[in-house]
Amino acid sequence: MRADAQRNRERLLAAARAAFARAGVETSLDDIARDANVGSGTLYRHFPTREALVAAVLDDRYEALAAEAARLQAEHSPGEALVAWLKLFVNHLMTYRGLAASVATVLHDETSPLYSACHAMRAAAYELVATAQRGGAVRDDIDASQVLYLAAGVAWAGEQSAADRAGVEHMLAVLVDGLLCNGRVPRPFG
Amino acid sequence: MRADAQRNRERLLAAARAAFARAGVETSLDDIARDANVGSGTLYRHFPTREALVAAVLDDRYEALAAEAARLQAEHSPGEALVAWLKLFVNHLMTYRGLAASVATVLHDETSPLYSACHAMRAAAYELVATAQRGGAVRDDIDASQVLYLAAGVAWAGEQSAADRAGVEHMLAVLVDGLLCNGRVPRPFG
DNA sequence: ACCGTATCCGGAGACAGTCCCCGCTACAAT
DNA sequence: ATTGTAGCGGGGACTGTCTCCGGATACGGT
């Protein structure tokens, strides 16, 4: 990669990081290009879609989440591991405003280039859920992907209600309480 | 109101209903105006914002939800009433794609003209939650407004994952399980 | 040090959406 | 029929996305 291309890429990432932190992931991309002192064409060449830029900014977070899943699974009981990981996941979704929606889209859109980028994380999460279900810690009448969507929904709800980190974790606690069996049989719903 | 104004208003509502059902509440407003054989200026005069149009289309649903809350409260136990109402609420949010986000915004934006439109519903829902909490059916470490946001989050998650009605109700069942005490003390979260 | 070329840059502009503005139309009251 | 005016409509300003291509530039070979 040519040196100027590398430099531009980094300036774009820095500008994007600042803009996302200030105004969420829906900020104007042209603004980001301007902030980076770069033409908008350059931005779109490096990052063809907004999703691609978001992914590049978050970069290693997805593998980190996958790694954390493995670590938690090794060091804790199935239930505790899942709960701890969901907390990490939801906190990640709170990094920037609008990120929950962004991630939720990517989770199922197989045509998205990010679909594979977060594949490892998704697989790790499914494994966490499956293990917890086999161990009887988590109700088994729910799909692993639904658990991820529900967690994203909690992050989204926190965003909408302008809740802080503690508020969102508290909402997550409610969801988690619905997921865990805790020695009771999940309440049927009619 | 002049006869042509009334006619235009109804044509706009019909076009909006069709467009929302087809493509969600984020459809182009100019398209709706075109479908109604009306200038876009006319649309914006009748409905200054997209939210206003959405509200007009949904019209009586909010009072209906408030009324249902009262009826359920009178005829069922506090816990059952809340659960049944949440199901109605979430189903309402599934009427059109994007509606959950729209409603979540209005729930807290006091400057929105719809804030008061759904005030009765909000008040009824809060009452439902408060009663269930006083009766010990629902954990009391959570705010009534958070319950609404969480329910909206479930509807949103269903939308994102392209779940059908049954799938969303199932997700709601998990949340409800976390909300209800069912003779156990809610699990602390650390 | 120089040069040729593959690579990359930048911004103009097409396109889509929102929303305002203002001259004109047609309704309804007399 | 006339007239005052509520209401219409669509042109256009503005914002944002994304593409295209002429021109600039850095790199590798000499």
Q: Are B29 and B53 in contact (CB under 8 A)?
A: yes
**Whole-number Å distance between alpha carbons of A173 and A178:** 9
Q: What is the CA radius of gyration of chain A?
A: 19
pLDDT value at residue A110: 86
Rounded CA gap, A179 and A182, in Å? 9
What's the N-to-C CA distance of chain B in angstroms?
60
Q: Rounded to whole angstroms, how far apart are CA atoms B173 and A104?
A: 20
Q: Are the beta carbons of B51 and B117 closer than 8 angstroms?
A: no
Determine if strand C comes within 7 Å of the CB of B4.
yes
Q: Residue B180 gets which letter from DSSP?
A: B
Least confident of A145-149, B95-99, B100-104, B116-120: B116-120
Per-run averaged pLDDT (10 residues), chain A, 190 residues: 94 98 98 98 97 94 96 97 98 98 93 85 97 96 97 98 98 97 69
| CA to C1' distance (Å), from A98 to D23 | 38
Question: Which residue's C-alpha is at the least distance from the C1' of C28?
Answer: B2
pLDDT at A139: 96
Confidence of residue B81 (pLDDT cuts 50, 70, 90): very high
The enclosing H or E element of B116 equals: helix B114-117
What pLDDT digit, counting tens, does each position of B29-55 carry? 999 999 999 999 999 999 999 999 999
DSSP string, B137-164: SB-SSS-HHHHHHHHHHHHHHHHHTT--
For the CA of B76 and the C1' of D29, the distance in angstroms is: 86
DSSP A163: -
CA distances from B144 to A153, B86, B178 (A): 17, 12, 14
Q: What's this model's pTM, rounded to 2 decimal places?
A: 0.95
